[in-house]
Amino acid sequence: MFMTRKPVTFPVLFAAAASLFPISGLRAEDSASPWVADVHSASRLIAGNKATTESGPVLRAGIEIKLDPGWKTYWRYPGDSGVPPRFDFSGSDNLRSAKVLYPAPHEFTDEAGNSIGYKDAVVFPLQVVARDPAKPVRLRLKLDYATCEKLCVPAEGRGQLTLSGTGDADAVVTAAEALVPKPAKLGDSAPLAIRALRRVNNAAKPLVMVEVAAPAGAKVELFAEGPTPEWALPVPAPAPGGPEGTQQFSFELDGLPPGANPASKDLTLTLTAVAGKDAIEVPAHLD
For residues 194 and 192, give the distance between their C-alpha atoms in angstroms, rounded to a whole number.
Answer: 7
> How many residues comprise the chain?
287
Query: Cα 195 to the chain's mean position, in Å?
Result: 23
Helical ranges in the chain per DSSP H = 170-178
Residues 139, 78 share a domain: yes
Lowest mean pLDDT among 116-125, 201-210, 251-260: 201-210
Amino acid sitting at position 91: G
The mean predicted confidence, pLDDT, of the chain is 87
Tell whether 224 and 88 lie within a shared domain.
no
| CATH code where residue 246 lies | 2.60.40
- Structural domain count, the chain: 2
Question: What does the angle CA 125 – CA 81 – CA 109 come to, to the nearest 5 degrees?
Answer: 90
CATH number at residue 59: 2.60.40.1250
Residues of the domain holding 196? 182-285
Is residue 218 domain-shared with residue 167, that is, in the same domain? Answer: no
Strands (E) across the chain are located at 21-22, 36-37, 41-53, 56-67, 72-79, 86-88, 95-100, 106-110, 113-119, 121-130, 137-148, 152-163, 182-183, 193-200, 207-213, 220-225, 237-239, 247-252, 266-273, 278-285
Question: What pLDDT is stored for residue 275 in this prediction?
Answer: 63
82 and 214 inside one domain: no
Residue 207 and residue 138 share a domain:
no
Query: Quick one: pLDDT at residue 81?
Result: 80
| Cα–Cα distance for residue pair 116/114, rounded to 1 Å | 7
* Per-residue pLDDT reduced to its tens digit, 71-94: 999 999 999 888 999 999 999 999
pLDDT at 23 > cutoff 80: no
Q: What is the pLDDT of residue 241?
A: 82
Q: What is the pLDDT of residues 55-74, one digit of tens each?
A: 889 999 999 999 999 999 99
Q: Answer with the one of 113, 145, 178 that is the final residue of a domain.
A: 178
Lowest mean pLDDT among 63-72, 90-99, 252-261: 252-261
Taking the chain, what is the end-to-end CA distance rounded to the nearest angstrom? 27
Confidence of residue 12 (pLDDT cuts 50, 70, 90): very low
Q: What residues have CB less than 8 Å from 190, skipping those under 6 apart?
A: 184, 213, 280
Whether 147 and 45 map to the same domain: the answer is yes
Within 8 A by CB and 6+ apart from 259, the residues are: none
- Whether residue 4 lies inside any domain: the answer is no
More confident residue, 4 or 251: 251
